[in-house]
Amino acid sequence: MTSPPNPLSLLVRKLEIHARLTDDDRKAVLALPWTMRTVDAGTYSIREGDRPEGCAVLVSGFAFRQKLTGDGARQIVALHIPGEPLDLQHLFLDVADHSVQTLTRADLAVIPRVALQKLVRESAGVAHAVLVTILVEASIFREWVLNVGRRPSRERLAHVLCEFAARLDAQGLAEEYGYELPMTQEQLADTLGLTPVHVNRTLKSLETEGLIKRDRRFIRFPDWERMRRAADFSERYLHLQPQLSGSPA
Amino acid sequence: MTSPPNPLSLLVRKLEIHARLTDDDRKAVLALPWTMRTVDAGTYSIREGDRPEGCAVLVSGFAFRQKLTGDGARQIVALHIPGEPLDLQHLFLDVADHSVQTLTRADLAVIPRVALQKLVRESAGVAHAVLVTILVEASIFREWVLNVGRRPSRERLAHVLCEFAARLDAQGLAEEYGYELPMTQEQLADTLGLTPVHVNRTLKSLETEGLIKRDRRFIRFPDWERMRRAADFSERYLHLQPQLSGSPA
DNA sequence: CGTAGTGTTGAGTCAAGTCAATGGTTGTGG
DNA sequence: CCACAACCATTGACTTGACTCAACACTACG
């Protein structure tokens, strides 16, 4: 009789995308305390202004980070896929500067924040992996500033679609020819800094050009290379190779 | 006879804006090897695609981070003021995803990357301070995504002007009534995702409304509270209070 | 079925961009 | 010390990509 799989093994896989872990590091992560929570779409993991308590790992489902302007306009500043930790960004910050919300129904493994803080303080290997993961997230934020600041709507949308595909692929979640984009056009608009109407037209235009095919929210790329070029997409900023320079011997 | 001041004391001051350091931590930072370099405006600290070698600290002068689209459009994704480390974002990433360049003539204290990596691995206190500093930079990136994605040009420009003021102030560099903005309108346009012409008009409009006064590149705020409101600016995302939750006892 | 949330489309508007010229500053070398 | 050159800031006239408003269609779910 085998025990049920530890949901934190997904977190290990995510950390190992960017850094090497020793057997002890892996064990230490898997030994973290956690509780499972199944939540509906739209559930907050943390709200701007709150004090972080837990650190959720997305076991299944999707999530996003958002900020609001004083006028109530929303900007989605990050998307998250299964296996990704949602609250590392607030691991050592005492008041949340943004909110994190599920995009779909999701299973969360919630680790007490203090337990993770303790592990990060005590294990150099885990600390390194967490640090690299945060550096990579920062790199993605920078790319988003560029995307939203300087790319016209067509490329902007295409770029986000490519990033999503590349990250799903890296986490071993890519389906053969595309993926289900788990968001409404309004949410997509808020990640792109556009209006929903314009997103709709831009999607149509990508489809007319043969860069994507759509069936409901399922997106397919008939010609990935052409799509990549149209999106001005390069994987570099995702830093998908494990970063070796700072690894412990 | 006193020895010349250690330029790394500025880095200590910066780290202590966000985290507490013990005496030993401070000493360890000050004991890092460094070499001084005085460079002209426009000098690269690192270029996108390169492997990071050193970690520069801005002792005097200003700097920025930039990315380019395939078409050559530029987006400035961060600004840096004296005392700030410029290459922490690449401390454990092996290929640079963006470039870092000085905005003005500047004095850099360059720490060998491996020395800083070693210190971060060996000192829990310094590692914590570096991690918090990176988390705060990530928070600023998120705010920039919001700023560029969702705020109209007037607020967008005002917001960056406010952030610059608040950060200068936190680092103890604020002059009584304003500051010299060390950049051309073209560079400002590239940080805002606007065109230089529109930045010019937007500056004039802020001035006409009495929100700012200008003399060359010197910016003054006649009524900080009104400016803050017009900019939709809140300091929260700068996390200026030292973050205590994860501090070593 | 009916209702609420999405997605789609058309027509008209506007914020920001483009193009192009002029004016001001700064630094440098004769 | 002046004159030129290079760079930067400013302004006007015109264009356009994206937004707004509004209607209608589709889908899922109770």
CA end-to-end distance (rounded Å), chain A: 37
Q: What is the structure's pLDDT at B198?
A: 97
Q: What is the structure's pLDDT at A249?
A: 47
> Band of the pLDDT at B14, cuts 50, 70, 90?
very high
> Band of the pLDDT at A173, cuts 50, 70, 90?
confident
Nearest residue in chain A measured CA to CA from B89: A135
Evaluate if residue A241 carries a pLDDT over 60: yes
Evaluate if residue A248 carries a pLDDT over 80: no
Query: Could you read off the pLDDT of B163-179 as tens digits, one per residue?
Result: 999 999 988 887 777 89
Beta strands in chain A (DSSP E): 35-39, 44-46, 54-60, 63-68, 74-80, 99-102, 106-112, 178-180, 213-215, 218-220
Query: Mean pLDDT, chain A, as a whole number?
Result: 93
Q: What is the structure's pLDDT at A4?
A: 64
Q: What is the structure's pLDDT at A234?
A: 97
Cα separation of B69 and B67, whole Å? 7
> A70 vs B232: CB contact, 8 Å cut-off?
yes
> Band of the pLDDT at B159, cuts 50, 70, 90?
very high
Sort strands A99-102 and A106-112 into parallel, antiparallel or unpaired. unpaired
Chain B interface includes A149 (CB < 8 A): yes
Evaluate if residue A3 carries a pLDDT over 80: no
Backbone angles phi, psi at A99, to 5 degrees: -105, 150
> Band of the pLDDT at B60, cuts 50, 70, 90?
very high
Residue B241 to chain A, least CA–CA distance (Å) = 9
Residues 6+ apart with CB under 8 A from A21: A12, A15, A29, A125, A126, A129
> A246 vs B137: CB contact, 8 Å cut-off?
no
Q: What is the structure's pLDDT at A171?
A: 83
> B75 vs A241: CB contact, 8 Å cut-off?
no
Q: Which amino acid is at B15?
A: L
> Band of the pLDDT at A174, cuts 50, 70, 90?
confident
> Band of the pLDDT at A98, cuts 50, 70, 90?
very high
> B75 vs A150: CB contact, 8 Å cut-off?
yes
Query: Could you read off the pLDDT of A99-110 as tens digits, one per residue?
Result: 999 999 999 999
Q: What is the structure's pLDDT at A247?
A: 65
Structure tokens of B237?
A: 């995302």
Q: What is the mean pLDDT of residues B32-58?
A: 95
Q: What is the structure's pLDDT at A21?
A: 94
Task: Give me the half-sphere count of Cα atoms (radius 13 Å) on the Cβ side of residue A20.
Answer: 8
Query: Could you read off the pLDDT of A178-225 as tens digits, one per residue?
Result: 899 999 999 999 999 999 999 999 999 999 999 999 999 999 999 999
> Band of the pLDDT at A164, cuts 50, 70, 90?
very high
Evaluate if residue A45 carries a pLDDT over 50: yes
Interface test with B, best of A17, A141, A227, A247 (most B CBs within 10 A): A141
* Percent of chain B residues past pLDDT 70, beyond the cut: 97
* Percent of chain A residues past pLDDT 90, beyond the cut: 89
Q: What is the structure's pLDDT at B171?
A: 83
Chain B interface includes A134 (CB < 8 A): yes
Evaluate if residue B7 carries a pLDDT over 50: yes
Query: Could you read off the pLDDT of B184-221 as tens digits, one per residue?
Result: 999 999 999 999 999 999 999 999 999 999 988 999 99
Evaluate if residue B249 carries a pLDDT over 60: no
Cα separation of A121 and A123, whole Å? 6
Residue A107 to chain B, least CA–CA distance (Å) = 25
> Band of the pLDDT at A2, cuts 50, 70, 90?
low
